[in-house]
Amino acid sequence: MKKRILHGTVVLSLIGTGTTVHAQSSGSVTLYGLLDTGISYISNEGGHSNIKFDDGILVPNLLGLRGTEDLGGGLHAIFNLVDQFIVGNGSIIPWQGLFGRNAYVGIASDRFGTLTFGNQYDFMVDSLLGKGNDPADNFGLYGFRTGPFSKIAIPNDPPFAGSFDWDRMAGGHPVNSSVKYQSVDFAGFSFGALYGFGGVPGSFSSGNSISAGINYDRGPFGIGAAYTEIKYFTAGQPQVGIRNWGVGAHYRFDKLTLTALVTTVRNTFNGGAIIEGQFGVAYQFAPEWITSAGYMYMKGNQFLDNNHAHQLGASFDYVLSKRTIVYAETVYQRTNSGAQALISGVLDPSGASSGPNQLIARIGLKTSF
């Protein structure tokens, strides 16, 4: 199962493939990346079916530079610069900018852990997705959490998709100007914390961010928990706080992997809140064939009109090599009557369904370098 389960970790650190240049024996710089393209059918997009070229779905399209230098005594200077782009037209993701996915530098100690500074993921990503505790990892962007909850109004999201990545685990919302600590492994236990500076004169707590996570991973079993609060500050406007917490776990048998997750979000300004629970299963029939299935239930509070959604997903992967996978997947969402289904990743202005049902079927190709 490792080839499939590693997808989330690959998105975060892209360990394995890559072109490494050794400037000296004490250090190296690695160029690496991910590419995903394919054709998607959407049953209802603003009242009409659609067939389109879509990319960055199973994994985001990333181009990165990662470096390390041995400082002696178990210390290493490290950096990571990651750009996300659109394969279809070659452009950078509009709302991120160059190296908007990750841009940090730091010190790693073999004994004491890692301290980094810059634009980096919080622990909703690191402790849950990155540790293999998110069933959505089997389906990529279409499998993450969205739904009929736009009224929650996550700042910086499109107004027609105000609940996109509401639990932050798709990795599209790294924390700017942050300091982050990640411990080493202590008999399976690890933990970390992050603080993002708001930079507001005279108000240290305005616009700041905090996050923390804890994990236990030993053998086939892993469990993690995380909390994040991001405060969005604009001069002359009320501050908006977005709070998330989540707990996830996995267990890997010989060919079978089971995964379960619960996450929540609350907008402290308008009171909107969502909770979701999901589970997933992945089975490796043969070294080159892997299939996955999952179910998710999402529920909004009264501010979100008590909207809810059921979501089902299934995928089939054919592993061509350790770098390249051909896959087919389908995701279906059904909401309560009067709500509009919206599957994650359908970010066009007319992306929401005109009714309570939306289905996506996709054939794609993922490769890494």
Mean pLDDT, the chain, integer: 92
111 contacts 184 by C-beta, under 8 angstroms: yes
Kindly list the domain boundaries of the chain, sorted by start residue: 2-368
Q: Which of 265, 229, 228, 263 is nearest to 248 (CA)?
A: 263
CATH architecture of 2-368: Beta Barrel (2.40)
Q: Judge whether residue 17 has pLDDT over 70.
A: no
pLDDT, position 161: 80
**What are 186-245's pLDDT values in tens digits?**
999 999 999 999 988 888 889 999 999 999 999 999 999 999 999 999 888 899 999 999
**What are 264-308's pLDDT values in tens digits?**
999 999 999 999 999 999 999 999 999 999 999 999 999 999 999
In DSSP notation, 27-78 reads: EEEEEEEEEEEEEEEEEEETTEEEEEEEESSSS--EEEEEEEEEEETTEEEE
Write phi, then psi, for 127 (nearest 5 degrees): -85, -20
Write phi, then psi, for 346 (nearest 5 degrees): -90, 80
Which helix (H) or strand (E) segment holds residue 7: the answer is helix 7-13
Q: Judge whether residue 11 has pLDDT over 60.
A: no
Q: Which of 352, 314, 357, 325 is nearest to 143 (CA)?
A: 314
The dihedral over CA atoms of 322, 64, 211, 114, expressed in degrees to the nearest 10, equals 90
